[in-house]
Amino acid sequence: MAVAEAGDMDSLQVDLGSRSYPIYIGQDLLDRPDLLQPHIHGRQVLVVSNEIVAPLYLERLQASLAGFDHRSLVLPDGEAHKNMATLERIFDRLLEQRFNRRCTLVALGGGVVGDITGFAAACYQRGVDFLQVPTTLLAQVDSSVGGKTGINHPRGKNMIGAFHQPNAVIADTRTLNTLEDRQLAAGLAEVIKYGLIRDAEFFVWLEERMEALVARDPAALAHAIRRSCRNKAEIVAQDERESGIRALLNLGHSFGHAIETGLGYGTWLHGEAVAVGMLMAARLSARQGWLPAADVDRIRRLLQRARLPVTPPDLGADRYLELMAVDKKVQDSGLRLVLLRAIGDARVTTEFDTGALRQVLDGG
Amino acid sequence: MAVAEAGDMDSLQVDLGSRSYPIYIGQDLLDRPDLLQPHIHGRQVLVVSNEIVAPLYLERLQASLAGFDHRSLVLPDGEAHKNMATLERIFDRLLEQRFNRRCTLVALGGGVVGDITGFAAACYQRGVDFLQVPTTLLAQVDSSVGGKTGINHPRGKNMIGAFHQPNAVIADTRTLNTLEDRQLAAGLAEVIKYGLIRDAEFFVWLEERMEALVARDPAALAHAIRRSCRNKAEIVAQDERESGIRALLNLGHSFGHAIETGLGYGTWLHGEAVAVGMLMAARLSARQGWLPAADVDRIRRLLQRARLPVTPPDLGADRYLELMAVDKKVQDSGLRLVLLRAIGDARVTTEFDTGALRQVLDGG
């Protein structure tokens, strides 16, 4: 993985052999046809966005697609629409327009738009090209790297999907200026996650610079995005199909998915659920004797400074366990969790005390 | 690719690197847990079948799955059900049963069951294991090799899908005894196709043995299946993602898909449409001066002896062209067709006379 600086833009390569792709990070990259167009191989382009993002950025992106046969599809906003019915709308549109297998889909929006558009690209005519233009911090640091795409099922999140790598990711940091505070915080949860699982130095940097991030300082944001993407890209390059080390990226996610499903999709944002989930994982780690209580406090304080929730919703331990049992991370061998040996050192384990887990699930 | 003979069973390896898999061909293989079970890695197995095949063979297959947590889902029969609604039934069932990502889906049936079950396996939790137990000649010689999975869309066949290789294919030739004559003939169309595109010697063998095949002579059927699978496996091993030589397998398919869509799915069987499509391709090849008229007659006679239709439905050239324009094989550069230089030598080309094509589409 190479990191090259070029004026106000960074680029970073995700190394996946023939499926390698660049991530561009910088200001006003939406207006850069020189970045987008080399990654489009056919003539037909469908930009998929949502009703919040499209009025802000669709026109600028379309201007960068001049010369292509480009169309757009604007979806309703929100996780509740990341489902089969919305997926079918994309297929219907592609077929109405007679898009062929050389077409390119462009996702302009947050994680929901990226996941569903990527999955549509994975399945349309058994796989077409796909570009990510993430406009939320969460999407820029998380879903834009790794090729996971998919939709939700009433019985579980991301239960239906595919691994499908984009041709390129274009992260325009200027788009974060229009992001709601709550969405920014949700993105910061995943940023903090990279510090927790494998980058203690970055965690310390976040402790120093959290107020700058919350204030949307452009240099601080660019650094956080770059460092997050690099951490994720290094993991994904080692484990594209999530058979081993990649599971560390699920820190907080087993708890978080249970919260999202238990409360109904969209009540809590994904990042909010992950934030509390990471704290729950830290608490269980402390109960195991893996993590000092002082570090649990450091994590809680950093999440609070990022304006993230730190109190789990009271679903009751039984309901939590029921919801976690259907989670993808459950193997035949029983519940697997990502826990912390230290800040910056996460481990996947099935070795934990069920009583301690129940105490954590009950808010302890 | 190795072919090993072992008593009454042949096996043949499809070489795709880490995704290589064996095809077992022989009598009563349904009753061989020693073949099935080594290819199942988790505990949970869902057998997907249809209302025609399940009463005949499901119980025997289940007996071979003793020891696993196996369930079954019986779908309605027919191409009309190869759609999103049926796909969702499979996902619903998997999630109701809390199947995890180590589960295995087994397709017991023809091409429709195989395609939709394989696609469900490709997408469930972003990809789970999959075994093919094809029970029609068409599925044994065609869809069981190559990893193409998918569903239809009202605007086009197989428009939504994935490449997903099975862990193994188990072709029990005894299941062909219960196949309707018309279904057997549809399978023979694809068998004849392998002769036409790359195996002139096999075409001559088919001219010698067609009556034995129609009479379901076991030795003749086993030879035809083995030779067909070997031809397809050799092509797929060279071109897993259908970027080049694999397109030759589409001989007759652009015409055939137009017929299937134009008449409505299920009016003609896929193999019947492909049979007429191959004859149309041969006629166009003759009009190009590529193929002697005598060879067009040989092809027509062999199709007739296989009890296949040889007269295209009268949709009119305009409607044919409209239907062919949305076909996957259409690239930005215009309509691409597979034509014959000779029996046993097919070529993909965009070089053909539109007037000649219209004459063929009008039945000439």
Cβ–Cβ gap A98/B127 under 8 Å: no
Q: Is B316's pLDDT higher than 80? A: yes
From A56, A88, A79, A17, select the one nearest A237 (Cα to Cα).
Answer: A17
Angle of the B200-214 helix axis to the B218-238 helix axis, nearest 10: 140
Q: Is A49's pLDDT higher than 90? A: yes
Kindly report, residue by residue over A246-280, the tens digit of the pLDDT: 889 999 999 998 998 899 877 898 899 999 999 99
Q: Residues in chain B, how many? A: 364
Structure confidence at residue B324 (pLDDT): 87
Kindly report, residue by residue over A136-180, the tens digit of the pLDDT: 999 999 877 889 999 999 988 899 999 999 999 999 999 999 999
The Cα A364–Cα B301 span in angstroms is: 80
Higher pLDDT, B330 or A55: A55
Structure confidence at residue B283 (pLDDT): 97
Q: Which value, to the nearest 10 degrees, does the dihedral of the CA atoms of residues B142, B147, B151, B154 take?
A: -70
Q: Residues in chain A, how many? A: 364
- How far from the centroid of its chain's Cα atoms is residue B66's Cα? 29
Cβ–Cβ gap B155/A42 under 8 Å: no
Q: Is B124 on the interface with A (CB under 8 A)?
A: yes
The helix (run of H) or strand (run of E) holding residue A356 is helix A354-361
Q: Which residues in chain A have their CB less than 8 angstroms from residue B44's CB? A: 332
A93 catalytic? Reply is no
Hey, CA dihedral for B78, B84, B86, B90, is it positive or negative? Answer: positive
Domains of chain A and CATH, by start = 3-178 (3.40.50.1970), 181-361 (1.20.1090.10)
**Out of A208-217, A221-230, B7-16, B184-193, least confident range:** B7-16
**Out of A197-201, A347-351, B132-136, least confident range:** A347-351
ipTM attached to this prediction: 0.85
- How far from the centroid of its chain's Cα atoms is residue A181's Cα? 17
From B283, B88, B111, select the one nearest A159 (Cα to Cα).
Answer: B88
A148 catalytic? Reply is yes
Q: Is A122 on the interface with B (CB under 8 A)?
A: yes
The whole-number average pLDDT for the span B120-134 is 97
B126 catalytic? Reply is yes
A250 catalytic? Reply is yes
The Cα B97–Cα A159 span in angstroms is: 13
Q: Note the pTM of the prediction, 2 decimals.
A: 0.87
Chain B residues 209-248 with CB within 8 Å of chain A: 241-242
Assigned token pair, B34: 């020693």
Q: Is A294 on the interface with B (CB under 8 A)?
A: no
Give the chain B residue whose CA is nearest to the CA of A41: B332
Q: Is A156 on the interface with B (CB under 8 A)?
A: yes
Residues 6+ apart with CB under 8 A from B124: A159, A160, B90, B91, B94, B99, B101, B103, B105
Hey, CA dihedral for B214, B216, B217, B219, is it positive or negative? Answer: positive
